[in-house]
Structure 1
Amino acid sequence: MSIRSKATAAVATAAAVTLFAGTAFAAAPGAPGVGDPYFPSYGNGGYDVSHYDIRLNYQPAGDKLSGTTTILAKATEDITQFNLDFRLKVKSIRVNNAVASYSQADGELVVTPRGGLRKGQDLTVVVTYDDVPSAVKDQNGFAAWEKTADGAIGIGEPEIAAWWFPSNDHPTDKATFDVSVAVPDGVEVLSNGRFLGQTRQINGWSRWNWRSTKPQATYLTFVAIGQFEIRQSTAPNGQPVVNAYSERLGENGDAAKASIERTPEVIEFLEQNVGPYAFEAQGGVVTPDLGYALENQTRPTYDTAFFRRGANTYVVAHELGHQWFGDSVSVHHWRDIWLNEGFASYMEFLWSEHVGEGTAQENADFTYDSYPADSPFWQVLPGDPGADKVFDGAVYDRGALTVHALRVAVGDAKFFEILKTWTAKKRYSDATIEEFIAHAEEISGQPLDELFNTWLFTKGKPAEAPGRASVGVAAKSVTAEPKAHQKIKLTHELLDANKH
C-alpha cells in the first residue's frame, strides 16, 4: 500500500470546494466503481476515457516494469477527485500538467487534482510508476501478471490492466490504445492492433510499438514479452496479420501454426455468418504459459496445450467469434457474460458444420446428452451465473444450446439476420441480455420470453435438446460423438481453467 500525505489531499479537496462554491455545480468525488453487480469495484465514475498511451520499459531479469501511462479523458460530471484502477507503485501523477495528490489502496488509485474538475472538461492524466508486477497481489493473494521463463504475459479476464497500466477498468469505457514497450535486444513484445515498428535504442534495448485504432476494452488489452517467432503477412482483405509463436512450444509448435495461420480464413467464414469484422488487424499468439485462451482484441492468445492432439481450429473459431461477441459488442455488466461465451461457443458449432465434422444439431444433441439431469451443470444459470460462476462450463455449453434453440425457433434466415443486425447495431458498444432478447423478438416477429427463460434463467435440465424433435431424432439415437466435439471438449476444458 502506498499512501500520499493526507494533509496534501485535504488542501486539494478544500481548493476544489472553493472552486465550485457559489455556482450551480454540485461537485463530489467520482464513484469508485461503475455499479457492476458482480464486481462493484471495477471501473470508476465521473469521467470517460478516449485514449491510453502506455509507454513502458521492461527488464525480464527481475520482472521490472517502469514507465508512464498518459490518459486522455473527459469529465462527465463535476468532481473533486476521481479513481483509477491500478495496483503498481506510483511515483507521480499530473492532471492537466499540474501535480496531483493521490492515495492508493486495494487496487484503487484515488487522484485529487488541483481545483477539481468541471463537467465536460478535457483531462490529460499522466501516471509514472515502477514496480515488479508478478509480486503484486490482490486481496485474495492473486497476481494477474505472470513472469515466464523468458519474459512475462499480461493477459487476463475479467481483470489484468491494473497490473500494468492505470485505467477505468470496465468494458463500458472503451478507448483507443498506443502500447510501446522497450526491452533488451533479442526480446520480442506483442500487443493489440497494428505493429508500428521496432526502434533500436542506444542502450542495447529495442522499443516495440503497437496501435489499436478501434474502441477496445481494458481487459482485452494485452502484452506478451519473451522469445517469439513472429510471422507477418497480409489477409485477403488487405489487413495486416501478425502471428507469434513462443520458442518454447516444443512438439506442439507445428500444430499451433497449422491452426493460427488459418485466422484470416476463419474470419472470412465468420463474416459471412455474423457480419463484417470490426477491427483493423488480425492475428494470434501461442504461449505455453497461459493455461487457457483469451480473445484479446485483434490478436487472441492461446495456450500451447490446445494443440497437443494436433491442429485445433475450433479454439480459433471460438476466440475469433469473440471479436464480434465480447470485443466489438461487450458486456454491459459481467452478469451479461452469456452474450460473450454462449455465442463464441456456438461459432464452434457453425465452424463444425462448415468443415463437415458434425452439424450444429449433432453437436447440440451431444452436448445436451453429455450432462445428466442431476448434474450440477443444470443448476448454473447462463443468464445470471453469479460472480463465482462467470466462467462456468454451463455459460459456454448451455449458453451455446440457448443460441441453437433460438436458431431452431426462428429459422436460419431470421437467425442469421438477428446476428448480423445485432453486431451492426451494437458495434463498438456494450449490451445487456435483455437488449438482445428484445432485438431477437423485433427481427423475428416472435415472442421469445419462454425460450430464453427456459434456457437462460431456469434451473434444471430442459425436457428436450433444442431442435431434436423438429428434425425427428430420437434421444437415444445420438450415440456417436461428432468428430468436432472431441476438440470442442478440449477447448472448453482449457477455456474454463485458471480464469480469475
Structure 2
Amino acid sequence: MHRRILAPGALAAASLLLAVPASAAGHSPGAPGIGDPYYPYYGNGGYDVSHYDLRLQYQPATDELSGTATILARTTQDLSSFDLDFLLDVSEVRVNGAKAAFTTSGQHELVVTPASPLDKGTQVTVVVRYSGVPSTKSAYGFSTWHRTPDGAVAADEPESAWWWYPSNDHPLDKATYDVSVAVPDGTQVISNGLLQSSSSQRGWTRYNWRQNKPQATYLTTLAVGRFDITTSTSEGGVPVVNAYSKDLGDNDGAARASVERTGELVDWLSGYFGPYPFSSAGGYVPNTTTGYALETQSRVYYSPKQFANGSNTSVVVHELAHQWYGDDVSLKGWKDIWLNEGFARYAQWLWSEHEGEGTTQELADYVYASHPADDAFWTVRPGDPGPDDQFDIAVYDRGALAVQALRNAVGDDAFFTILKGWPKEYAYGNASVADFEAYAEKVSGKSLSGLFDAWLFEPTKPAAAALRAAGVPVQPRSWKKIEATNDVH
C-alpha cells in the first residue's frame, strides 16, 4: 500500500524528501506482466528467477496442499514491490529474511512489498508460506489442477504453476528446481528430473526430485497417486523413469507398450536433434479424464485417452521431440509457438518415414491437398497465430508443412544441419521465429524470408511448388495415428 502525502508548497517537498530514504528514490513496482501480448498478466516484471525450492505436503483425500516455496532471484530494476503468479492462500512472505507485506490483485497476482526497497542487480531470496485446496481455485474461469481417484496432477499449457507454487510464470524466466513433497505412506510423487531420495516418517513419505537444467514454469509437473514405476537406461545412456496409475484399466497395456519405448525413441531422436539435453527422460500416465499430452520437461504427461484405441508411439515421439524443441530451446513469446509444435509434428512425420508408413514428403503432399484454398486452415498463421488459435491444428500441420518446405528449399544436408544445430545454438535459453529464420539463413546461405512469409505468416494457401506436390496424394498409412494425436500440446 502507498500513502500519498499532501502538503502546501516547499514544505511538502522538504517533508517528502525527508520521509523517503535516499535508497528508495526512483524505486517502482515491478510490472504485473512480463510483456507478452498474448497473455498480458502472465509472468512479472522487475526480477529474474534462478531457482525454485518447493517443500510441500499434500493430502490426497482432502486435496489439501501446504508448504514453503523458496525463490532465488535477481532484480532487473529498482523495485519497491513485485508480483508473483499464485492462487493459494499465503500466510507469510519474507524477502531476504525480513517479513514483507503482501496482498492479492487481479485474477492471479500476489503483490509483495519488501520491508526495504530493492536496488537493481540485488540477489533476492523470497520465502512464501502457503496452504489451500487447489481444486477450489480458479482464474479466468478455469482450473488446471486435475483431481484423480488417488491424488492429483498439475500439467497444463500455457499455465499450471499458479495452483501449486508461486512463480514468475512465463517461459522467458526459466529456472532450476528442487521439488520435495510429503504424502501419506503408500502414495507416490512424480515430478521432473531425477529422484534424489525418499524417506518415510510417522505415516508420511517424502519424495525429493531435482531438475538441474533451466525449466519453464509450465513445463514443471506434479503428480500424486499410486503408480507402478519402471526405470531403465537407454542404449545412449539416458536414465528413463516412467510411471503408470494402477487403475488405468483397459488402457494400461497400450499405454505401457507406447511409453516404455521412451528410451529407444530418445536415442532415435538424438540422431536428428543432437544429444538429449536433460538428466533423465520418461513419462507418466495418471488416471485423468483429460484428452491431451504435454511435454513436461523430462517427464512427459500423457492422458489415458491417448491410448484408448491402442498403442501409439507417434504421440510419444511428438512429446519427446519437444524436449529439444520447446523445452531445451523455449519460446521467447507465446506467438513463437510454431518453434514448438511445427517441429514436434514434423518429428512424427520423420518417425512415419522411419517406420515405412509414409515419407515426410508424402505426408506433406497429403496435408496440403486435404485443405482447399478457401479452407479456414490457411487463415491461421503459425508464425503468429494469436492467442485464440495458438493450438489450432494449423499450427501443427501447416507448421510441419513449413518445415518440409524449408527442407526442400535448402536441401537435406543444410536442413539436417539446421535441425541438429538449433538446439545447440540456443541451448537452455529462449528464441523466436525470427531467430530461427536468421539461423536457417546463416546455415544454408540462402535468403528465406519469402518462404517463411508464405508458410508462416500469409493467411492464404501457398503455391504448391515449394512442396513439389503433384497429382492426388494417397493417405499415408501413418496418418490415422498422427491424426489421433491432434489434441496433444
- TM-score, reference length from structure 1: 0.92
Other-structure match for 2:10: none
The 3 A distance-change label for structure 1 pair 114 and 225 is: same
Structure 1: runs of 5 or more not aligned: 1-5, 11-15
- Residues 4-153 of structure 1: matches in 2 within 5 Å? 6=1, 21-22=21-22, 26-105=26-105, 106-138=107-139, 140-153=140-153
The 3 A distance-change label for structure 1 pair 465 and 196 is: farther
Structure 2 residue 287 is matched with structure 1 residue 302: no
Aligned-pair identity in percent equals: 55
The 3 A distance-change label for structure 1 pair 25 and 403 is: farther
Correspondent of 1:487 among 463, 466, 481:
481
Distance 1:251 1:446 in 2: 52
- Residues 100-499 of structure 1: matches in 2 within 5 Å? 100-105=100-105, 106-138=107-139, 140-202=140-202, 204-289=203-288, 290-464=290-464, 466-469=466-469, 474-476=470-472, 478-479=473-474, 481-492=475-486, 494-495=487-488
Distance 2:56 2:255 in 1: 30
Contact 1:197 1:208 in 2 (8 A): yes
What is the Cα deviation at residue 32 of structure 1?
1.3
The 3 A distance-change label for structure 1 pair 219 and 482 is: same
The 3 A distance-change label for structure 1 pair 21 and 206 is: same
Contact 1:382 1:456 in 2 (8 A): yes
Distance 2:318 2:3 in 1: 50
Contact 2:24 2:117 in 1 (8 A): no
Note the alpha carbon deviations across 1:392-424, whole angstroms, 9 max, x for none: 111011000001100011011100111222111
Moved more, 29-38 or 214-223: 29-38
Contact 1:322 1:340 in 2 (8 A): yes
Distance 1:234 1:19 in 2: 63
What is the Cα deviation at residue 19 of structure 1?
9.7
One-letter code aligned to 1:318: H
What is the Cα deviation at residue 200 of structure 1?
0.2
Q: Counterpart of 1:291 in 2: which secondary structure?
A: coil
Contact 2:148 2:287 in 1 (8 A): no
One-letter code aligned to 2:483: K
Distance 2:234 2:2 in 1: 57
What is the Cα deviation at residue 367 of structure 1?
1.4
Distance 1:182 1:372 in 2: 55
What is the Cα deviation at residue 7 of structure 1?
7.5
The 3 A distance-change label for structure 1 pair 67 and 442 is: same
Q: Counterpart of 1:280 in 2: which secondary structure?
A: coil
Q: Counterpart of 1:74 in 2: which secondary structure?
A: strand
Other-structure match for 2:9: none
Structure 2: runs of 5 or more not aligned: 6-15
Contact 2:234 2:267 in 1 (8 A): no
Distance 1:365 1:57 in 2: 52
The CA RMSD over aligned residues, in Å, is 1.9
Distance 2:4 2:114 in 1: 9
Q: Counterpart of 1:72 in 2: which secondary structure?
A: strand
The 3 A distance-change label for structure 1 pair 270 and 160 is: same
Contact 1:20 1:27 in 2 (8 A): no
Distance 2:373 2:430 in 1: 34
What is the Cα deviation at residue 484 of structure 1?
1.2
What is the Cα deviation at residue 305 of structure 1?
1.6
What is the Cα deviation at residue 227 of structure 1?
1.6
Q: Counterpart of 2:319 in 1: which secondary structure?
A: helix
One-letter code aligned to 1:252: N
Note the alpha carbon deviations across 1:476-495, whole angstroms, 9 max, x for none: 1x13x211111000011x22
Note the alpha carbon deviations across 1:284-338, whole angstroms, 9 max, x for none: 1112413200000001111112222222111111000000110010010000000
Distance 1:488 1:334 in 2: 24
Contact 2:53 2:70 in 1 (8 A): yes
One-letter code aligned to 1:236: E
One-letter code aligned to 1:495: V
One-letter code aligned to 2:132: D
Q: Counterpart of 1:44 in 2: which secondary structure?
A: coil
Other-structure match for 1:3: none
What is the Cα deviation at residue 23 of structure 1?
5.9
Distance 2:272 2:438 in 1: 20
One-letter code aligned to 1:191: S
Q: Counterpart of 1:345 in 2: which secondary structure?
A: helix
One-letter code aligned to 1:113: P
The 3 A distance-change label for structure 1 pair 412 and 200 is: same
Q: How many residues align?
A: 477
The 3 A distance-change label for structure 1 pair 18 and 325 is: farther
One-letter code aligned to 1:124: T
Distance 1:402 1:78 in 2: 43
The 3 A distance-change label for structure 1 pair 393 and 440 is: same
- TM-score, reference length from structure 2: 0.94
Note the alpha carbon deviations across 1:119-154, whole angstroms, 9 max, x for none: 22111111011111011011x320111112111011
Contact 1:25 1:78 in 2 (8 A): no
Distance 1:254 1:218 in 2: 31
Distance 1:220 1:465 in 2: 38
Distance 2:275 2:90 in 1: 41
